Copies of this chain bind each other. A is one copy, B any other.
Amino acid sequence: AGWEPVNVREFERHAQLMLSKNAFDYYASGANDMVTLRENRAAFNRLRLRPRILRDVSMVDTSTSVLGQKISSPICIAPTAMQRMAHDSGECATAGAAAKAGALMTLSSWSTTSLEDVAKAGGPGGARWFQLYVYKDRKITEQLVKRALAAGYTALAVTVDTPVLGRREADMRNRFKLPEHLTMGNFVSAGGAHASGTKDGGNDSGLAAYVASLIDRTLDWNDIKWLRTICGSMKIVVKGVMTAEDAAESVRQGVDGIWVSNHGARQLDTTPATIEVLPEVVAAVSGRCEIYLDGGICRGTDVFKALALGAKAVFIGRPVLWGLAHSGEEGVSKVLKLLHDELVMALQLTGCTRVSSASRSMVTHQTSYYSKL
């Protein structure tokens, strides 16, 4: 109680004390040697800020918009599965905190609460997207999309980096499974493996087995077209773009947004840090659609750097889980406020009053200074 975390990393350390090993390891770990997990964060720390001086920063406005929807801050919530392992209130708590902060929340397909309940918890004003995993069973997939539309989710974030689940060795050692009292909240009616989720993992990570048996590995651009036919008014965002080539292709295919992500370093190890690929994606897209980024963000200056390099908004995954583990909705609110305060300070100390003022010339790689010396 007495100890109040002062930054996101401290929230993480706190969570490690509070959660079971099964849950914490699932949340915290990355694929294989976790090279990319470290890089996602380290890459931000290799970037340098070029602060401008003597500008009136008494009024700072962090509001912006995504896909035409106004949000109070460019810090959005990424989809993370099974939030009820972190706190009994799970995804509803996240939705509540997001709504109070005026922040956009993306709900995972693998929510431990139904998407309808989460929508209710977020309330009418809450900005929400739905993250979609495409199932082999296209009926189930279609139902999911239709329910998301009906519940007021305004965009589908289609995750394209998970034909198979990445090799997360801690989960393999733990033989990770969803605790008995929890279910895959969106699949209760589907029953069977779909509902019980990861409970029968055998020798491996239970989630890896779940993905192998249920998720569609044939996913390609035709499926994106199909989704467009069934998603109604929902916008389509591809989540998991990591190259200029795929960014260009996404634009050609007419997606509404490109989400630069390496899935929190949980899928393919030794991919670059997301912040490192942002410039090539921005160049390839050349303003033709919005670009978002997640991966390793845990400081206001990280947010600033992503914006300055061309992201319209950023998403945070694990920090929300640490907030949940700390104190449910209140904890998520604390984490959102912490990062918001840090972003405001980053803006003030670089001489900016709006997020759109964060410009390309304010960020440079540390090595750019070496050649001048």
Residues of A within 8 A of B (CB): 6-7, 32-33, 35, 39, 43-58, 160-161, 163-164, 166-167, 169, 172-173, 217-221, 223-224, 238, 240-243, 245-246, 267-273, 275-277, 279-280, 299, 301, 309, 342, 345-346, 348-350, 361, 363-373
Contacts and interface: CB of A to CB of B under 8 A. Distances in A.
Q: How many copies does the complex hold?
A: 4
Nearest to A50: B243
Given A276-B369, A342-B167, A373-B365, A51 B243 contact: yes
A50 B7 contact: no
Nearest to A364: B373
B7 A32 contact: yes
Nearest to A242: B51
A271 B161 CA distance: 34
Nearest to A204: B6
A348 B164 contact: yes
A217 B169 contact: no
A58 B167 contact: no
A338 to B, nearest CB: 10
Nearest to A363: B373
A48 B371 contact: no
B272 A366 contact: yes
B50 A242 contact: yes
A163 B57 contact: yes
B270 A301 contact: yes
Contacts of A39: 366
Given A50-B243, A369-B272, A55 B345 contact: no
A135 to B, nearest CB: 14
Nearest to A3: B173
Nearest to A44: B270
A136 to B, nearest CB: 10
A373 B50 CA distance: 13
A217 to B, nearest CB: 4
A271 B365 contact: no
Contacts of A217: 56-58, 348
A280 B33 CA distance: 28
B373 A276 contact: yes
> Which 9 A/B pairs are nearest by Cβ-Cβ distance?
A365-B373, A276-B369, A268-B349, A58-B217, A56-B218, A53-B160, A279-B372, A48-B272, A58-B218
A172 B7 CA distance: 11
Contact of A54 (B50, B55, B219, B346): B219
A167 B345 contact: yes
Contacts of A369: 43, 272-273, 276-277
A348 B166 CA distance: 10
A219 to B, nearest CB: 6
A48 B349 contact: no
A364 B372 CA distance: 9
17 contacts: A7-B32, A32-B342, A48-B270, A51-B161, A51-B242, A51-B271, A52-B246, A53-B160, A53-B161, A53-B241, A166-B345, A268-B350, A272-B369, A273-B369, A276-B372, A365-B370, A367-B371
Contacts of A219: 54, 56
Given A6-B173, A218-B56, A365-B371, A301 B32 contact: yes
A299 B34 CA distance: 12
A245 B362 CA distance: 11
